[in-house]
Structure 1
């Protein structure tokens, strides 16, 4: 019985079909089927009820899946303990990234990790759409707060982002400039939808209260929200790093400048129900160190960009 075949069995369980598992593993369906049959022959039990389009676990298969989760996890942990921390690793990582303003900083850190581990292959998925990380074999994801279920995920805080209210001079000339937070409800706000389906219509005002907003346009892209704001569609709550250049050029106006800006957070998350591979553990350690340097301005120039943004915010 091979450990690789047990891991393959887990992928079939998580995707629900041989075809999907074969696609994710980049293997012929016939190879996946043959290796599954070998595993069943070794165990002398039937692991799946095979149907035309899907596969469901037998009672024995369910028991084997539950027990081998911890076994695979213990094996990976043993490899971590025995392997030189500087040794190169292989394997494949699928990484989901929410299109945050620091996307380039995250990708730069990923490329550095790949350079240190040339035998590793990586697939990057940039999306704001909901993704079943287990079913789609996504190992890790960079997501903003409120965009994932904390009960199903382990989350490590990676980045922070300053957000504030902005609008175009054209919109304010037409609709007026809100002075009090309560006046926001009388304006058209550009709404944002999180990957989990939640609409961001309870907006932080400072760091100690929220304001209910409404609007006739809802988007799931920060870049599109920015473009809609520049087009005079309404007031938006956006990262300062994404808007400060437009504020400096007078294309956007920052509102409520006397209110402390809100600090949003981006997390590195992974499913709590799945063991973490050696590659994933090393990757988490690398990104924590890389983005710490980035946040402190030592690695990617982010501090210089934010300094200009905060300066423009203070006027």
Structure 2
């Protein structure tokens, strides 16, 4: 019995469709069907009720899925412990990145990992929309805090991001600048909605201060939020590096000059109820080492990742 066939079985279970699993895995449907049939023949049990558009587990299939998930996790962990750190890694990783200012820097870190492991292939997806990581066979994701369900994910904190309030000079000339949290409530704020549906309308700027926001515009994209501010539609809250060139060119101003920025967090996450591959484990280790070095320099991932 091949462990790769068990992995294919897991993907079909998690997508609920042979066609969807074949598309995600980039395999012909006939190949996937044949390998599943071989697995059933070896086990001498029927794993699926096959229907025209979907596949559902039999009682035996459900039992095998539950037991083999734990088995595969233990197998991968054993391989991780026994494999020399310099041994060649193989496999394919699907990595989701939220559209954050560090997106290209994260990509450079991925490239560096691939250079060190030339037999690894990677698919990089960028999306602000919620994604079912298990159903879509996503191994790892870089996601903002509050944008994922903590009960379903293992999360490793990898990036701190300075986040501040900004407005255009035109907005300031027309409405003035708030000086405290109470005055901010009287201004129009460009609200941001996370992929999980939560609106970022309470900003804990310190242990003592929480800004509550009101606004007639809500977006789920940093670029649109920036454009709204540049057009004088309201005050926006955005990562400082994302706005730096507009500050330098006087197209934006900071709203609270004397207040330290809010520190947003980005996490590297993966599903807690799915085993994690050896390649994914090594990638996590790689990113954590890179970020530890960057923290010492207080410079984020930066271009140094590529050096």
Counterpart of 1:246? Answer: 246
1:1-315 maps to which residues of 2 (within 5 A)?
1-297=1-297, 302=302
**Structure 2 Cα separation of the partners of residues 203 and 264 of structure 1:** 10
Unaligned runs of at least 5 residues, structure 1: 305-315
Secondary structure of 1:27's counterpart equals: coil
Deviation at 1:302, TM superposition (A): 4.4
Question: How many Å separate the matches in 2 of 1:127 and 1:25?
Answer: 19
Q: 2: distance between equivalents of 1:51 and 1:127? A: 32
Task: Please report the TM-score for the alignment, with normalisation by the length of structure 1.
Answer: 0.92
* Rounded Cα–Cα distance in structure 2 between residues aligned with 1:204 and 1:211: 6
Verify the 8 A CA contact 1:90 1:279 in the aligned structure 2: yes
Output one character per residue of 1:2-31: Cα deviation in whole Å (capped at 9) or x when no partner.
111111100000011100111111110001
Q: TM-score, normalised by structure 2?
A: 0.95
Distance 1:63 1:302 in 2: 47
Provide closer, same or farther for how the CA distance between residues 178 and 299 of structure 1 changes in structure 2, counting only shifts above 3 A: closer
Does structure 1 retain, via aligned residues, the 8 Å contact 2:155–2:269?
yes
Structure 2 stretches lacking a partner, 5+ long:
none
Residues 137-190 of structure 1 show CA distances to partners (whole Å, capped at 9, x for unaligned) of 000000010000000000000010111111011011112211221111111111
Counterparts in 2 of 1:235 and 1:298: CA distance versus 1, 3 Å = closer
1 CA distance for matches of 2:293 and 2:105? Answer: 10
CA distance in structure 2 between the partners assigned to 1:188 and 1:6 by the alignment: 54
Distance 1:280 1:98, change over 3 A: same
Find the aligned partners of 1:262 and 1:287 in 2 and give their Cα distance.
24
Instruction: Report how far residue 263 of structure 1 moved.
Output: 0.8
More deviation in 96-105 or 286-295? 286-295
Write the distance in 1 (CA, Å) between the matches of 2:226 and 2:164. 12
Is the contact made by 2:161 and 2:264 (CA closer than 8 Å) also made in structure 1? yes
- The answer to whether the Cα contact below 8 Å between 2:105 and 2:303 also exists between their aligned partners in 1 is no
- CA apart distance, 1:262: 1.0
